[in-house]
A and B are shown apart, each in its own frame.
Chain A
Amino acid sequence: MAKERIQQRRDWRAESAAFFLNHRAVCLLTATLLAACAVLGFLRPPMAKIRAQISPRFVRESGSRYSEAKVNLLVIGIARGRNVKTGDTETYVGFAGKIFQADLNRELDLKAKAEKAEKERGETVRAPLTKTERREYQRQKLLENVADIVLWIPPLLDGSKITVSLTILSTLTGAFLSIFMALGKISKFKPLSKLCSAYIFVFRGSPLLMQLFFIYFGLPLINPNLNIQDRFTAAYIAFTLNSIAYMAEIIRAAIQSIDKGQFEASKALGLTYGQTMRLVVIPQSIRRLIPPVANEFIMVLKDASLVSIISLSDLAKVTQTISTTSGKVLVYIPSIAIYLIITALFTFIFNRLEKRFSIYQ
């Protein structure tokens, strides 16, 4: 036993060593980035100091209409005070030992906009920006964008919490329950098989949006006891029911792709149907299941945006809200980046799983 454990530890070591060797560039880059982050994080001015830059006069003048946002991203810290009525802001960015103001100068902004409008209309520009003004304008614009993006990150992450937890929970539950649905569908007991086929037909054949709508709004109308108070629970139920249907088909296809000889050998050795499935067929199907299940997972991740119809704020909904309230379309860039990071992470996990389950080949 002990020997086996040592062997396993050695395998693990060899495996990770091989991983570092094969991904040398990625590993070096990650290490460099981490080191840079540590240095920059150490150099960043404390949040209290950044916050203190917002002028007391601005706060006083804004009075009850004053609101404040602070974001601490380790390497970068931002504090923004806002007068909700006028829309004026005072924003300070702390980065690498310095604190910058990151607001567009209102006059400069108006001047730049006027210039742009005149150019578009083909008129002669009455008051062009000077060279220094233009450089200053570009610098401010950039800083403002950076500040915006950083300030959006916390609400976006809040939204992605819902997206990710809904996806993971519903696909995990769905994957587990769909095994039974698949076995039901290939069962020789006709009523059961028909019932499972009908379930799959209904939940795969109708839009998830409508299923979600029906479960949250429709069920209470049929019977008040079926009222699901919690929106997340309602979404979880709808997504699970839907992914059972999809994954049951994936599992059925994987089971039926297993060589007939495996069933025959099991039968000749006296294994029951249940044992054959549990010990022989399903373990072999898992490797074939992983790629389509990963696909399904990513589909669900994106379909999670449908929960906005029952007023749940997932990543897509938060993005949309920010974009409409602030009028800044730029928010779609960090939002898409977050989606891609989540997808990349899970693709990596699924790839590792697939390797793990194909050791015997």
Chain B
Amino acid sequence: MPREAEISSNEREFIQQALHEGIRIDGRAFDEFRPLNLSFGDEYGVADAQLGKTRVVAKISSEVTIPFPDRKFDGVFTITTELAPIASASFEVGRPTEQESLLSRLLEKAIRRSNALDTESLCIVAGSKCFALRADIHVLDFDGGLVDTCCVALLAALRHYKRPDVSVNGEDVKIWDVREREPVPLSILHYPFCVTFSHFRGVEGSELMLIDANAAEEQCREGEVVMTVNKYGELCQIAKYGGATVDAMALLNCARLAAEKVKVLDRFVTTKLDQDAKKRDIGGLMAELKAENER
């Protein structure tokens, strides 16, 4: 099926009319996320994020390679997002849609180019050996809010992942098996989260900004603004798509709101990670096994 079934004009008008009256079709407030759920796999670096009916699994894996010749001190970090028909019949295999390229570009900007992951810490021997970290994002269910969900899943997976320990003795490098030495967590500098605002035109030229639109609302919107903020309120990137013009003051408002939302998201992910760590820490051995020093 080459394209998504469009919603009918009646449905579109109903959604818009309801928004003008200050009501969303699923009864949420305008600045409210759908219920978010996060679970981790048995292995390190697998996170399953569910935002309403949208579901994304992120999986981190690593291998040892040669660093790029122009970046001798940096490891390699790649994010792969491929939408498959498992999420919606309108996603085709082998033919990237606009949505797919926008998604991967946004994640690239939000996580990779904002230097969330310290790639220098992935270097083993400068110029000859480094870790190549790979993040595979599998979208399993699609009901809008893809960027926000992917970002949560990816970040949670990165924070959950542990790479094998290495010991360097001159030119000799030993990669320790997970069973031999406790693997080490990645060094992550800050935790950026994406918040998507969907822009609707309200009554008498006023503007409506909706957080976390579902698939039906996404089809009716006139534009979207994606903001990436970390918990310190630092803005990492802004992207605006769609033709509608958005007022500068509205954007400032969005940034303020995004900073608030990100704090909640960050707390949620941290709690979930702590719960998972507690579950794995059988007999309280983790503190003895880990190699890193207390700061």
Chain B associates with chain A: no
**Taking beta carbons and an 8 Å cutoff, which residues of A are in contact with B?**
none
